[in-house]
Structure 1
Amino acid sequence: MRHQDERPEAPWAATNRPPMGWNSWDSYGTTVTEAEVLANARFLAGHDEGVLAAAGWDTVVVDIQWYEPTARPGGYNDDAPVLFDDHGFLQPVPARFPSSAGGRGFAPLASAVHDLGLRFGLHLMRGIARRAVEADLPVPGTPYRTGEIADTSSTCPWNSDCYGLRHDHPGAQAWLDAMVDHVVGWGVDFLKVDDMLAPYHRDAVEALSLAVRRAEQRHGRRVVVSLSPGTELSLAHLEHLREHADLWRVSDDLWDRWPDVEAQLGRMARWAPHSGPAGWADADMLPLGRIGVRAERGEPRHSLLTTDERRALLSLWCLARSPLFVGGDLPTSDAATVADLAHPGLLEVAHRSGGGRELLREGPTGAETAVWGAATPDGATRWVGVFSTAAEARRVRVPAAAAGLPGAPDVVVDVWSGERVPLASAGPATGGDTVLDVEVPAHGVRLLRLGTRAHSGTPGPEEHTWQG
């Protein structure tokens, strides 16, 4: 069993921010190349004098099938060929990752990412490659073979690359320990491990946790563990997840469609109260900027979400304390999207707030109002997000009490625009309570900062980061 006090310090130990970075999936699906990974890493590190990296966008993740030489856009190849070594450990395709040639794996790419001041992440599937099982290779340090440790009845419903492991067999943990140690030895700081939660593979979660802990102790550094996908993930697993992982998805893949974003309002209402440094509930990647370049779904495009939908997504993710991993190809994404990712007022919510949760939800399906609140631990600064799922702009009046406010705040600022927002006078309809009276755009949000300071930027030196 993994215990937090046995592990090296987490990346967020000195801050309150969730994990943040870039992931190749939304742009490149199974086909990303080393050059594309490095281009996005350099953008994170260097754009506008490093504003993104300084704001916390510090992890670069290579997603699925980096080991598949025939990988293509638009889906997976059944029973695909995969590259692996003499122990059955998957290896990057040199045609796409030239620096991996000669058995160097991802060590050179991880080193290049580290040299930019960033962390390097890698996708793994649950279990062991089918082709490695068929080859019946030796399990390092044991008398067992890969053909003995695989559970050939345990397969992923959407990808045929791997079998599950027989976790009741002593060779299974030995192989997993050696494989994870091998990958961490490349310089991997972040593992996104798929086919873990739908259905919930309790034994696989625990075995991975043990393998990662052992690798951390051997290499002397922290490895962040992300589990996915989260189809119908139940809160009944919360304590088990907190013990064995750092973040976990709560949905299937999210794409640039308003219904996908709207559905997360309900999911995150369940999960946000439990998200924080003990474990982060992940609302999935941000399908923003230029996506679909060679992806699983759709043609090359700039995200089909409108500006208001994009800002509603970002506001919800930050209020709910979700990890933030953008999927767009950053060097070719539009400037407005990149500016929103670096918006200091938005990221102040992600970095400084706590207790984010839904406070009010009312109205018919397709025209609901959802009100979210969050605050600094001393309550001096509060944020309120007023979301509308309606297809047209509309005026929304929210009593201050319903927005979680004990009284009228001194200052109300729209985070996105920086403009002061006047409070409506109390009236009989609200029982004499002060109200927030705001115009909310279609499929949009008004994200409001309430407190005694009028600025919507990053906290000053006197405003210490909350570590609770």
Structure 2
Amino acid sequence: MAAVALSVAGASQASEASEPAAVGPVAANGLAATPPMGWNSWNHFAGRITAADVRAMADAMAANGMRDAGYVYVNIDDTWEGKRNAAGDIETNDKFGDMKALADYVHARGMKLGLYSSPGATTCAGFVGSHGHEDQDARRFAAWGVDYLKYDYCGARDLYPVTQRNQEMLFRKMGDALRKAGRPVVYSLSQSGDFDIWRWGPQTGANLWRTTPDISDTWESMSQRGFRQLDLSAWSGPGHWSDPDMLEIGNGGMTADEYRTQMSLWSLLPAPLLAGNDLRTMDAATKDILLNREVIAVDQDPAGHPARRLERQGDVEVLVRDMADGSIVVGFFNRGESTTVRWSWHKLGDRFAHPTGARDLWHHAAIDTQRPFEATLPRHAVAMVRIAP
């Protein structure tokens, strides 16, 4: 979500220690063997999200095939929080009411509920954060039935100097609290990739961490964040994923070709697939992109191998990813104007010089491997091919 400049009501920097207490490394929780898939409220609803909207999204995911395709997390971003009661327990605000009932509603439809908080006294949008209440909030989330926590550093900038050590200790503190609370919770960190978080994120107990600033619904924002991940591939794998932020597919700021590029790139990396559109009003093109089972299978491949850049042909980036079954997926990403790609199979090495089969994952069609691959790619379009050795 976008940061909002705030002062922390009732908090005095002078009353805080200069840095948070040390917390030891947090053990992995064994979750997120493949990148999490689901939906997050922020890109479309931002601060307007309500419990009724969340129920509607869960209903839509169950009805439109998303749940059955693997989108199982229904994640509420910032602005659900109310005040703390006399015991210090966090409550929801009037937009949400009974969070346990909402979690039960989502669970009854075969999905899981996610929430948002911050190690600050306030969140990015100025709502109550978890600072000083980490164990209490983790127990509260567990009692409600929460399955996913997005933890955004934003508000903690008002409490401590912004250093790697301070961020790591605060993220470890909540990671440790979630473990002690006893409920399996996917733990997602958000702080824009500061201090090379991919190097130390696993020690916080987290399953994924943002590696970029917030995404926006433009080609420039999406492509910069997506292709940036190729430099970080060594740090991502089962249980610990680099996160270039949520999908913008269906929000209207890009073309269908550009949205296919985001889906293809995020799946090849691989990255979490968290839709961010209004699932009640999706058009056919958006459904076709989000529900492409062959592309989703690339993202969810159990080996978790990262993509790598093989070559560049003018404006076309050629990325490849090794799959658990011995096949290989090649993505041809046109970052410029309309062009034609011509490709010889031998470029993939001896094992694939004479492939036994190849399949176009967007056209759902077999490809003739007896001749070189050729495709015309419109501006900002993509082709994805899965090849058997």
TM-score by length of 1: 0.70
Report what 1:84 is aligned to. 84
Matched ranges for 1:133-282 at <5 A: 159-161=125-127, 172=132, 175-195=133-153, 201-218=164-181, 220-231=182-193, 233=194, 235=196, 237-244=197-204, 245-282=206-243
Q: 1:405 to 1:159 in 2, by over 3 A?
A: farther
Matched, 1:25 2:18: no
C-alpha contact 2:43 2:277 (8 A) present in aligned 1: yes
| Cα 1:271/1:64, change in 2 over 3 Å | same
Map 1:5-84 onto structure 2 (within 5 A).
7=29, 9-10=30-31, 12-13=32-33, 17-47=34-64, 51-67=65-81, 83-84=83-84
Q: Aligned partner of 1:400: which letter?
A: W
Residue-by-residue CA offset, 1:337-361 (whole Å, 9 max, x unaligned): 1232121111111122642323234
CA change 1:164–1:348 in 2 (3 A) is: closer
Equivalents in 2 of 1:111, 1:446: separation in Å? Answer: 41
Q: Which has the larger radius of gyration?
A: 1
Verify the 8 A CA contact 1:22 1:59 in the aligned structure 2. yes
- Alpha-carbon distance, 1:116 to partner: 1.3
Q: Deviations over 1:248-293 (max 9, x none)?
A: 111112122111122134311112343221301111111122x4xx
Q: Deviations over 1:35-61 (max 9, x none)?
A: 1100101111232xxx32122100001
In 1, distance between residues paired with 2:169 and 2:245? Answer: 22
The correspondence for 1:368, drawn from 315, 320, 329, is 315
Q: Is the 8 A contact 1:2 1:210 kept in 2?
A: no
Q: Find the residue that maps to 1:256 and give its secondary structure.
A: coil
Matched, 1:330 2:279: yes
Q: Are 1:121 and 1:190, in contact at CA under 8 Å, matched by a contact in 2? A: yes
In structure 2, what is the Cα distance between the partners aligned to 1:416 and 1:268? 22
Q: Does residue 398 in structure 1 map to residue 365 in structure 2? A: no
Greater Cα offset, 189-198 or 20-29: 189-198
Amino acid at match of 2:61: L
Once residues 52 and 161 of structure 1 are traced to their aligned partners in structure 2, the CA distance between those partners, rounded to angstroms, is 31
Q: Find the residue that maps to 2:48 and give its secondary structure.
A: coil
Post-superposition offset of 1:386: 0.6
Cα contact 2:117–2:130 (8 A) shared by 1: no
Q: Secondary structure at the match of 1:38?
A: helix
Find the partner of 2:270 among 307, 313, 321. Answer: 321
Q: 1:36 to 1:323 in 2, by over 3 A?
A: same
Q: How far apart in 2 are the matches of 1:347 and 1:372? A: 17
Let me know the Cα RMSD of the aligned residues: 2.7
Task: Tell me the distance in 2 between the aligned counterparts of 1:261 and 1:436.
Answer: 27
Provide the C-alpha distance between the structure 1 equivalents of 2:293 and 2:246, rounded to a whole number of angstroms.
Answer: 20
Secondary structure at the counterpart of residue 356 of structure 1: coil
In structure 2, the residue matched to 1:419 is 365
Alignment match of 2:106 (pick from 98, 102, 113): 113
Deviation at 1:413, TM superposition (A): 1.5
1:304-337 deviation line (CA, Å, top 9, x unaligned): 2211111111000000010010000101111221
Picking from 363, 375, 378, the partner of 1:438 is 375
Distance 1:284 1:20, change over 3 A: same
| TM-score, length basis structure 2 | 0.83
Say if 1:415 and 1:234 are closer, same or farther in 2 by CA, change over 3 A: farther
Name the amino acid aligned to 1:64.
D
Once the two structures are superposed, residues 400-459 of structure 1 have per-residue CA deviations (whole angstroms, 9 ceiling, x without a partner) of: 35446632212221101022333475xxxxxxxxx533222210111001116xxxxxxx
Q: Assess, with a 3 A threshold, how the Cα gap between structure 1 residues 440 and 273 changes in structure 2: closer, same or farther.
A: farther
Runs of at least 5 residues in structure 2 that lack an aligned partner in the other structure: 1-23
Higher mean displacement: 351-360 or 335-344: 351-360
State the alpha-carbon separation in 1 of the partners of residues 369 and 163 from structure 2.
47
Cα distance in 2 for residues equivalent to 1:200 and 1:440 = 44
Q: Using the TM superposition, name which of 399-408 and 343-352 deviates more.
A: 399-408
Structure 1 counterpart of 2:382, one-letter code: V
Q: Measure, in 2, the Cα distance between the counterparts of 1:448 and 1:234.
A: 36
Distance 2:227 2:290 in 1: 23
Residues 187, 163 of structure 1: alpha-carbon distance in 2 compared, 3 angstrom cutoff = closer
Whether the 8 Å CA contact 1:254–1:285 is kept in 2: the answer is yes
Q: 1:437 to 1:274 in 2, by over 3 A?
A: farther
Question: Using a 3 Å threshold, how does the CA distance of structure 1 residues 378 and 33 change in structure 2: closer, same or farther?
Answer: closer
8 Å contact kept, 2:59–2:109: yes
* Residues 163 and 418 of structure 1: CA distance in aligned 2, closer, same or farther (over 3 Å): closer
* CA 1:201–1:223: 2 relative to 1, 3 Å: farther
Q: What is the CA distance between 1:3 and its match in structure 2?
A: 4.6
Partner of 1:147: none
Q: 1:59 to 1:419 in 2, by over 3 A?
A: same
- Residue type of the partner of 2:288? A
Q: Pick the aligned partner of 2:118 from 125, 138, 141.
A: 125
1:330 is paired with a residue of what secondary structure? coil
**Hey, what does 1:349 align to over in structure 2?**
298
